[in-house]
Amino acid sequence: MPGLMLLDTPSLYFRAFYGVPESMTAPDGMPVNAVRGLIDMIATLVRANSPGELVACMDADWRPAFRVAAIPSYKAHRVATGDQEEVPDTLEPQVPVIERVLDAVGIARIGVPGYEADDVIGTCAARATGPVDIVTGDRDLFQLVNDAQPCRVLYTIKGIRNLQVFDEAQVTAKYGIPGRAYADYATLRGDPSDGLPGVPGVGDKTAAALVTRFGSLAAILEALDDGVAEGFPAGSRTKLANARDYLEVAPKVVKVAHDAPLPDVPLARPVAARDPEALVALADRYGLDGPLNRLLAALAG
C-alpha cells in the first residue's frame, strides 16, 4: 500500500551538489547542479515507490540550541561564521531555489524553528499511521527503523537508483546490534562527523557488545550503578564510569525528536503542479524544463 515518504532534503541536496557537475548552469551561468539533481532524485524515488504522501523535511535550525547546550562540540567544526553552517559558495544560493521549486510543485516542505530535518522526520514518522520510508544518507536515522510500523530507511550510499534498504534485520546485520538500538550504539561509540565524542576507548565492537548484552543504554547505566560485573567487555566498566557525565546528556543530542511542533499542512503527494505559472517562471529562469517535466510525469503517474 502507498505510504509516507520522508525526504532528508539537506542530505539529498548536498549529495546532488557533489554528484552533479557544476557545469549544469542556469541561462545566466548560475550553477544549478544541486537543484537539478534533487529534482531528478525525487522523480526517481516517486517512480520507484509511488508514495501516497511525500514530505521534504528541512533544517530550520541545523545546530539546535538544545543539542549545543547538552554537548557544545555538536557540529562545532562545521560552523563558518557566527552560528552559520559552512556551505559551499555555489550551493548556498541554490537552496532558496530548491524551496521555491518544491512549493510551486506542491510537495509538502516542513521545517520547524529550533529543530533539524531529522527531528521533522522523527516526528512525522511517529505520527504516521501507516508504512514510512525515510530517504537519507545520514546513519543517525537508522534509529527510526521499526518493523512493526513498518518504518524503513532508504539509504543513499549507493546512489538514488540503487538504494540500500535498512529495516531492523539490516541494522542488525550491519552493526551487530538489536534492530532498534542504533541511537544507543551511536551514543557509546560517538560520531566525529557531528562532533560527538562518544565514550573514550569504546569503539564499534565494544559498543555493539554492550548494547547487545544489556539491550539499551539505560540498562547499561543501571547495571553500572548496581555494580554488575558480568557482561562488560574488559576495561569497559571503568571507561563508562569515567564518561558518566557525557552519557547522561548525550541521548538528548543523538536521539531525534518525536514531538517537534509540526505545522498542519497536507502531506498528500501532488499529482499536478500547485502553482503552474510560478513553476514555468522557475523553469525558464533556471533552465529546469527537463528535470521538472520528469518530476511532474512521475507525480502524475
pLDDT band at 1 (very low <50, low <70, confident <90, very high): low
Q: What are phi and psi of 172, to 5 degrees?
A: -65, -45
pLDDT band at 34 (very low <50, low <70, confident <90, very high): very high
**Residue 227 has what pLDDT?**
85
**Residue 229 has what pLDDT?**
80
Instruction: Determine the average pLDDT of the residues in 206-224.
Output: 95
pLDDT band at 84 (very low <50, low <70, confident <90, very high): confident
The CATH number of 4-176+256-289, from 3.40.120.10, 3.40.50.1010, 3.40.50.970, 3.30.70.520, is 3.40.50.1010
Residue 64 pLDDT exceeds 90: yes
The CATH number of 182-254, from 3.40.50.12780, 1.10.3720.10, 1.10.150.20, 3.40.120.10, is 1.10.150.20
For residue range 232-253, list pLDDT tens digits in order: 998 999 999 999 999 999 999 9
Q: Model pTM?
A: 0.96
Residue 132 pLDDT exceeds 60: yes
Q: What are phi and psi of 141, to 5 degrees?
A: -80, -5
- Domains of the chain: which residue ranges? 4-176+256-289, 182-254
pLDDT band at 165 (very low <50, low <70, confident <90, very high): very high
